C-alpha cells in the first residue's frame, strides 16, 4: 500500500497506508479518542469513520464536542433508527427517505393505516430500545442491480425508484443499523448507542407528497426533533411554548384586534383595535412614500378579463382569481371580470394615460392596493396568509439606466422603515435567471448586475439564489428576522420589462421617438395583514407605544377619583395619546390584571392621593414597579412616546 500523508488541525502530518479509515487514525492516537469519535472532517468534507482515505488530506476527528457534525449525525442516525423501529413494529410499512431538517429530521412512510399519537409513543419506545442495544453501524457499497434486486425482493418500490434515480457511476452506499439496512449517503455514527436516548422526541405526523410532487402518492411523514442533551431539548420545548404564546391568532382575540369567520374564509374582520394598528401603520407608510417621491393612486377592484388576458395573468393564474360574472338582462354576452389579484396592470393603465416624456421618469406610483386571490384552502393561516389583503404596492417606471439608482433608493427607503418598525436584523437575496425565461442573456447579465451593484452601493451584501428569479426578470427579496429568530420574507423588488411590453407602455425619449420603460415592482411590508401578524408575533403583543391601539388606561382605585380620571384622560387625548378611563366598580388588582392581559402599554392608577396631589401612578406593561409622577410630566412623556418615529 502506498503511503499517504494526513495533516491534523494542529498542523502536524503523519504518514498512513492508503485506504486508512478515520477510525484507524483515531485508534492510532488514543483508545479514548477511538471510542469518542463520531466522524471526521477530511479536506473539509464530513467523513464517516469507516470510509477509507486514499490520498493526502487534512483530517480532523469529530467528537460530540463538535456541534455541527454531532447534531447532524444524531439526527440522521435517528432517522434510520426511527425507520427501523417502524418496520419492526409494522413490517409491511414501506420506507422512503428521511433527511435531517431544522432541529431534527423526518422520515416518509407508505402505510395504509394512519399513524396515531399512540403509535408515536410506541415508535419512540422502540427507538430507545435500539439505542440502548448499541447496535453497530456498518456501511458497504453495493452494485446497482444488487440493490434493485434486494429492494424488489423486499417489496420496497420507493427505494427501487430512488436507486434508479441515482446517476450512473455514483456509488450506492448502504448503511446497516444492526440488521436493518437503508440506502444512504452517510456519514453515520459508530453505533446506535452514541445517540443520546433522552434528547429526542417525535413531534407529529403529517401528509407529504412523494418527492414533493403533488401528482405522486401522499405518504405519511413523521417529524422528530433531537439535540445533544436533555437540556437542549427542554430549551427547544420552551421555545415552542414561547412561539405558541406569540401566535397572532391568539393575541388577536385577546387584544380584540380582529376575527375571521366561516362565511368569509381568508378574510379579516378588523375590530376597532386592530384597525387602529392598520391605519397608524398605513399613515406612517403614506408619509414615507410621499417623502420618497411616490404619487399615490387607486385602481379598480373589478376588472374585465380582457385586461388580465393582456397582462398574461388570465393564462397563468386564472385558478387563483375570484371570477365575477355579470349577466345583464339585455347584454348580448356575459361580461367576465376578475377581482384584482395584483395592482401592476392597473398602474400601467395609469401610466398609459397621456403621453409620457423621459422627463417624467422615474415615475413612482404607489397604491395601498386591496387584492383578492383565491388561495388554496390549505394555505390559509390566520391573517398571515389570506384571500383578501392590501399590499403597500408600488411600481417605478424608469429607463434601464435608472434601475441601479432606483434600486439603491428603494433599499435605503426600506432600511429606514424596517428600522423604525423595530427590525434591526434583515438580509437581501438576489434571485437570478431561471431556466424558463424571456430576454437575452446580455439583458439578464445587465439587470442582475445592476441589482447587485445597487445593493453594494447601498452598503448591503446579499445572498444569490440561482435560478429563482421571475421569468421576466431578476428580483431582490428582503427577509427580516424576528425576536425569536424566525425569518419572514417581506420586501421585494422585481425588474420587469415584460408587462410594459404586453400592456403597451411607452414614453417619448430625448430623440423624439417612443421607448419602452422598465417597471420595478416593489413592496416593503408586503401586505398589511401579514405584516401586522408579524408585528404582533415579533412583539408578543407588546407593540411599540406609537402602534399600540390602546395606549393608556386610566384606572380609578376609589370612586371618589372618577372625576379626576376623566380629567387625566382628557389631558392625554388633547396631547394625542389614545387614553381611556376605567372607573368600573372593581379593585385595582382586577383592572391591572385585565389591562395587562390586554397588552395595554401604560396603566395610570389614580386614588385619593393622586387626586389630592394632581399626580398619577404609572405602571408600564411587563414591569412590576410603579412610579408616581406629576400629571403634566406624564402627559408630556406619553405624548412623546405616542409620536411615530418619523415625526419624533
475 assigned to active site = yes
Q: How far is the CB of 447 from RNA (least distance, A)?
A: 16
> CA angle, corner 28, sides to 23 and 32, nearest 5?
75
CA–CA distance, 593 with 255 (Å, rounded to integer): 13
Are 606 and 564 in contact by the 8 Å Cβ rule? The answer is: yes
373 assigned to active site = yes
Instruction: Work out whether 590 is an interface residue with RNA (CB under 7 A).
Output: yes
Query: What sign does the dihedral 562-568-569-571 (CA atoms) show?
Result: positive
Select from 350-358, 429-437, 510-518, 586-594 the region that touches RNA (CB under 7 A).
Answer: 586-594
Map grid coordinates 403583543 to a residue. 541
Select from 61-69, 268-276, 478-486, 602-610 the region that touches RNA (CB under 7 A).
Answer: 602-610
Instruction: Work out whether 339 is an interface residue with RNA (CB under 7 A).
Output: no
Instruction: Work out whether 440 is an interface residue with RNA (CB under 7 A).
Output: no
Instruction: Work out whether 563 is an interface residue with RNA (CB under 7 A).
Output: no
Among 173, 385, 522, 578, binds RNA (CB under 7 A): 385
The answer to whether 371 is annotated as binding is no
77 assigned to active site = no
Q: Which residue, 49 or 600, has its beta carbon nearer to RNA?
A: 600
CA–CA distance, 302 with 421 (Å, rounded to integer): 33
- How many residues at the interface with RNA, by CB under 7 A? 69
Among 192, 288, 343, 617, binds RNA (CB under 7 A): 617
Cell of 84: 427501523
Among 305, 313, 356, 578, binds RNA (CB under 7 A): 313
CA–CA distance, 233 with 262 (Å, rounded to integer): 38
Instruction: Work out whether 122 is an interface residue with RNA (CB under 7 A).
Output: no
Find the largest Cα–Cα distance for the chain: 98
Instruction: Work out whether 212 is an interface residue with RNA (CB under 7 A).
Output: yes
Among 391, 556, 577, 641, binds RNA (CB under 7 A): 556
- What dihedral angle (degrees, nearest 10) is formed by the CA atoms of 236, 241, 244, 246? -100
Are 176 and 138 in contact by the 8 Å Cβ rule? The answer is: yes
The answer to whether 395 is annotated as binding is yes
Strands 3-7 and 388-398 turn out to be unpaired
Q: Which residue, 45 or 590, has its beta carbon nearer to RNA?
A: 590
DSSP 545: G
Query: What sign does the dihedral 350-352-355-361 (CA atoms) show?
Result: positive
629 assigned to active site = no
Q: How far is the CB of 63 from RNA (least distance, A)?
A: 32
Select from 161-169, 259-267, 351-359, 400-408 the region that touches RNA (CB under 7 A).
Answer: 259-267
Q: Which helix (H) or strand (E) holds 62?
A: strand 57-62
3-state secondary structure of 410: helix
3-state secondary structure of 271: coil
Select from 198-206, 224-232, 388-396, 453-461 the region that touches RNA (CB under 7 A).
Answer: 198-206
Select from 212-220, 358-366, 420-428, 447-455 the region that touches RNA (CB under 7 A).
Answer: 212-220
Q: Which residue, 291 or 587, has its beta carbon nearer to RNA?
A: 587
Instruction: Work out whether 607 is an interface residue with RNA (CB under 7 A).
Output: yes
CA–CA distance, 406 with 364 (Å, rounded to integer): 10
Are 94 and 156 in contact by the 8 Å Cβ rule? The answer is: yes
344 assigned to active site = yes
402 assigned to active site = no
Q: Which residue, 211 or 458, has its beta carbon nearer to RNA?
A: 211
Among 144, 191, 249, 573, binds RNA (CB under 7 A): 249
- Residue closest to 278 by CA, chosen among 257, 248, 256: 257
For 496-521, the three-class secondary structure string (H helix, E strand, C coil) is: ECHHHHHCCCCEECCCCCEECCEEEE
Catalytic residue among 246, 248, 521, 578: 521
CA–CA distance, 287 with 291 (Å, rounded to integer): 6
The answer to whether 455 is annotated as binding is no
Q: Within positions 469 to 498, which residues make up the interface with RNA, using CB under 7 A?
A: 470, 494
Select from 13-21, 406-414, 506-514, 622-630 the region that touches RNA (CB under 7 A).
Answer: 622-630
CA–CA distance, 494 with 478 (Å, rounded to integer): 11
Among 98, 187, 224, 266, binds RNA (CB under 7 A): 266
Q: How far is the CB of 583 from RNA (least distance, A)?
A: 8
Q: Which residue, 53 or 616, has its beta carbon nearer to RNA?
A: 616
Among 509, 593, 636, 648, binds RNA (CB under 7 A): 593
Among 144, 201, 381, 629, binds RNA (CB under 7 A): 381
Select from 19-27, 226-234, 294-302, 617-625 the region that touches RNA (CB under 7 A).
Answer: 617-625
446 assigned to active site = no
> CA angle, corner 408, sides to 407 and 410, nearest 5?
65
CA–CA distance, 287 with 619 (Å, rounded to integer): 32
- Residue closest to 568 by CA, chosen among 625, 601, 617, 640: 617
Q: How far is the CB of 321 from RNA (least distance, A)?
A: 6
Q: Which helix (H) or strand (E) holds 17?
A: strand 13-17
Catalytic residue among 184, 344, 455, 490: 344
Q: How far is the CB of 37 from RNA (least distance, A)?
A: 33
Instruction: Work out whether 603 is an interface residue with RNA (CB under 7 A).
Output: yes
Are 565 and 611 in contact by the 8 Å Cβ rule? The answer is: no
Instruction: Work out whether 172 is an interface residue with RNA (CB under 7 A).
Output: no
Q: Which residue, 40 or 219, has its beta carbon nearer to RNA?
A: 219
HSE (CB half, 13 Å, CA atoms) of 391?
Answer: 26
Among 279, 349, 566, 626, binds RNA (CB under 7 A): 626
What is the DSSP track for 31-47? HHHHHH--EEEETTEEE
Catalytic residue among 373, 409, 433, 530: 373
What is the DSSP track for 103-158? TEEEEEEE-SSPP-HHHHHHHHHHHHHHHHTT-BEEEEEE-HHHHHHHHHHTT-HH
- Binding-site residue numbers are 344, 395, 521
Residues with catalytic roles: 344, 373, 391, 393, 395, 475, 521
- Binding-site residue numbers for Zn(2+) are 344, 395, 521
Interface contacts to RNA, rule CB under 7 A = 114, 204-209, 212-214, 218, 220-221, 249, 253, 260, 262, 265-266, 313, 316-317, 320-321, 341-342, 373-382, 385, 470, 494, 521, 556-560, 585-590, 592-593, 596-597, 603, 605-610, 617, 619, 621-622, 624, 626, 628
Amino acid at each position: 500500500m502506498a503511503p499517504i500523508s494526513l495533516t491534523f488541525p494542529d498542523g502536524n502530518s503523519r504518514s498512513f497506508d492508503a485506504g486508512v479509515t478515520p477510525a484507524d487514525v483515531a485508534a492510532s492516537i488514543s483508545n479514548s479518542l477511538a471510542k469518542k469519535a463520531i466522524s471526521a472532517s477530511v479536506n473539509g468534507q464530513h467523513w464517516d469513520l469507516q470510509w477509507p482515505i486514499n490520498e493526502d488530506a487534512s483530517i480532523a476527528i469529530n467528537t460530540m464536542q463538535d456541534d455541527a457534525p454531532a447534531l447532524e449525525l444524531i439526527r440522521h442516525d435517528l432517522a434510520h433508527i426511527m425507520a427501523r423501529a417502524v418496520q419492526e413494529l409494522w413490517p409491511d410499512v414501506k420506507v422512503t427517505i428521511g433527511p435531517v431538517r431544522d432541529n431534527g429530521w423526518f422520515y416518509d412512510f407508505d402505510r395504509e393505516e394512519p399513524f396515531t399519537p399512540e403509535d408515536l409513543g410506541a415508535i419512540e419506545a422502540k427507538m430507545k430500545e435500539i439505542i440502548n442495544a448499541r447496535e453497530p453501524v456498518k456501511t458497504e457499497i453495493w452494485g446497482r442491480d444488487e440493490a434493485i434486486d434486494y429492494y424488489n425482493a423486499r417489496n420496497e418500490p420507493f427505494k427501487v425508484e430512488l436507486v434508479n434515480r441515482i446517476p450512473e457511476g455514483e456509488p450506492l452506499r448502504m448503511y446497516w443499523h444492526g440488521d436493518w439496512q437503508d440506502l444512504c449517503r452517510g456519514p453515520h455514527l459508530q453505533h446506535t448507542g452514541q445517540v443520546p436516548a433522552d434528547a429526542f422526541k417525535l413531534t407529529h405526523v403529517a401528509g407529504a407528497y412523494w418527492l414533493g410532487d403533488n401528482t405522486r402518492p401522499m405518504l405519511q411523514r413523521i417529524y422528530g426533533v433531537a439535540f445533544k442533551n436533555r437540556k437542549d431539548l427542554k430549551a427547544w420545548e420552551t421555545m415552542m411554548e414561547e412561539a405558541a404564546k406569540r401566535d397572532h391568532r391568539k393575541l388577536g382575540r385577546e387584544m380584540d384586534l380582529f376575527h375571521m369567520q366561516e362565511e368569509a374564509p381568508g378574510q379579516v374582520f378588523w375590530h376597532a383595535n386592530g384597525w387602529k394598528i392598520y391605519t397608524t401603520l398605513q399613515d406612517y407608510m403614506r408619509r414615507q412614500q410621499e417623502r420618497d417621491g411616490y404619487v399615490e393612486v387607486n385602481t379598480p377592484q373589478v376588472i374585465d378579463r380582457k385586461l388580465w388576458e393582456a397582462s398574461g395573468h388570465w393564462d397563468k393564474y386564472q385558478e387563483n382569481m375570484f371570477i365575477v360574472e355579470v349577466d345583464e338582462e339585455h347584454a348580448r354576452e356575459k361580461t367576465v371580470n376578475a377581482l384584482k389579484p395584483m395592482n401592476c396592470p392597473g398602474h400601467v393603465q395609469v401610466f398609459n394615460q397621456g403621453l409620457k416624456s423621459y422627463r417624467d421618469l422615474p415615475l413612482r406610483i404607489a397604491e395601498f392596493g386591496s387584492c383578492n386571490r383565491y388561495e388554496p384552502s390549505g394555505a390559509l393561516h390566520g391573517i398571515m396568509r389570506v384571500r383578501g389583503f392590501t399590499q403597500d404596492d408600488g411600481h417605478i417606471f424608469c429607463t434601464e439606466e435608472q434601475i441601479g439608482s432606483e434600486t439603491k433608493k428603494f433599499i435605503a427607503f426600506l432600511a429606514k422603515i424596517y428600522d423604525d418598525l423595530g427590525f434591526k436584523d434583515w438580509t437581501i437575496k438576489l434571485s437570478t435567471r431561471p431556466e424558463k425565461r424571456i430576454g437575452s442573456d446580455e439583458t439578464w447579465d445587465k439587470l442582475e448586475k445592476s441589482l447587485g451593484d445597487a445593493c453594494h452601493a447601498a452598503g448591503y451584501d446579499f445572498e444569490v439564489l440561482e435560478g429563482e428569479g421571475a421569468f421576466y426578470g431578476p428580483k431582490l427579496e428582503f427577509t427580516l428576522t424576528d425576536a425569536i429568530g424566525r425569518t419572514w420574507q417581506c420586501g421585494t423588488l422585481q425588474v420587469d420589462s415584460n408587462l410594459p411590453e404586453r400592456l403597451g407602455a411607452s414614453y417619448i425619449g430625448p430623440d423624439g421617438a417612443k421607448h419602452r420603460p422598465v417597471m420595478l415592482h416593489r413592496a416593503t411590508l408586503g401586505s398589511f395583514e401579514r405584516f401586522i401578524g408579524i408585528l404582533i408575533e415579533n412583539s408578543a403583543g407588546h407593540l411599540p407605544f406609537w402602534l399600540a391601539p390602546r395606549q393608556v388606561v386610566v384606572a380609578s382605585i376609589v370612586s371618589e377619583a372618577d372625576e379626576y380620571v376623566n380629567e387625566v384622560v382628557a389631558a392625554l387625548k388633547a396631547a394625542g395619546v389614545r387614553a381611556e378611563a376605567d372607573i368600573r366598580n372593581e379593585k385595582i388588582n382586577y383592572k391591572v390584571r385585565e389591562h395587562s392581559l390586554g397588552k395595554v402599554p401604560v396603566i395610570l392608577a389614580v386614588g385619593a392621593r393622586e387626586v389630592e396631589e394632581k399626580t398619577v401612578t404609572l405602571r408600564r406593561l411587563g414591569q412590576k414597579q410603579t412610579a408616581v409622577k406629576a400629571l403634566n410630566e406624564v402627559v408630556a412623556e406619553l405624548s412623546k412616546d405616542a409620536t411615530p418615529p418619523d415625526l419624533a
